[in-house]
């Protein structure tokens, strides 16, 4: 079974756990170079992936592209397959800015991306309910929050319904 890490770039988090690092950039650490704005390549067939992990990737897409990516993740996961997403917490970032914890430059970089290469721009922000809604809309079930070390981010996990559901 395949396990995919989407957008791991030069520092994938799950490579040692057997995840293939999928990224748009041609880097030594990338196992499968692909543009996630488009459906997964044919070598990743429907119902062929056991688990998908992505940290700080989904915010680099427009809302429509993010929806499409989540639908495609659902398609390639096996019944009962799991997805885990970690994204910046737009609500927490805004609160910290409004309370003076971040200056405008820091806040802007955290909200809009590092902008140091063409794909490193943020195009959408998430809070728990919005991301949970997108996962539900894509057909995922069992959506729940996962623990993150950084208070500026949050994670959700969900699964594709199994055959008996």
In this prediction, residue 151 carries a pLDDT of 84
Phi, psi of 90 (to 5 degrees): -60, -35
> Could you report the per-residue pLDDT of 39-69, keeping only the tens digit for each?
998 889 999 999 999 999 999 999 999 999 9
CATH of 2-159, one of 3.40.50.150, 3.30.360.10, 3.40.50.300, 3.30.1600.10: 3.40.50.150
User: Residue 66 in contact with residue 142, Cβ under 8 Å?
Assistant: no
Long-range CB contacts (< 8 A, 24+ apart) of 15-22? 19/51, 19/53
Helix (H) or strand (E) holding 60: none
Kindly calculate the radius of gyration of the chain based on its CA atoms and give it in whole angstroms. Answer: 16
DSSP string, 101-163: SS-HHHHHHHHH---SSTT------B-HHHHHHHHHHTT-EEEEEE--SSTTEEEEEEE---T
pLDDT score at 150: 82
The pTM of the full predicted model, rounded to 2 decimals, is 0.94
Each of the 165 residues of the chain gets a pLDDT tens digit; together they read 699 999 999 999 999 999 999 999 999 999 999 999 999 988 899 999 999 999 999 999 999 999 999 999 999 999 999 999 999 999 999 999 999 999 999 999 999 999 999 999 999 999 999 999 999 999 999 999 998 888 899 999 999 998 655
Per-residue pLDDT at 68 = 96
CA neighbor of 158 nearest in space, from 75, 71, 82, 49: 82
């Amino acid at each position: 079974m395949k396990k995919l890490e989407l957008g791991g770039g030069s520092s994938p988090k799950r490579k040692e756990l057997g995840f293939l690092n999928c990224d748009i950039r041609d880097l030594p650490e990338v196992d499968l170079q692909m543009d996630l704005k488009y459906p997964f390549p044919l070598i990743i067939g429907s119902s062929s992936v056991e688990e998908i992990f992505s940290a700080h990737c989904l915010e680099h897409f427009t809302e429509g592209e993010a929806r499409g990516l989540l639908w495609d993740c659902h398609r390639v996961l096996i019944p009962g397959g799991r997805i885990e997403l970690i994204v910046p917490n737009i609500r927490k970032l805004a609160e910290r800015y409004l309370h003076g914890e971040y200056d405008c430059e820091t806040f802007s970089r955290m909200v809009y991306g590092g902008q140091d290469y063409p794909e490193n721009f943020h195009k959408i922000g998430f809070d728990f309910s919005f991301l949970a809604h997108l996962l539900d809309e894509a057909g995922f079930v069992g959506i729940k929050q996962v623990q993150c070390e950084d208070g500026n981010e949050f994670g959700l996990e969900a699964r594709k319904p199994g055959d008996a559901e």
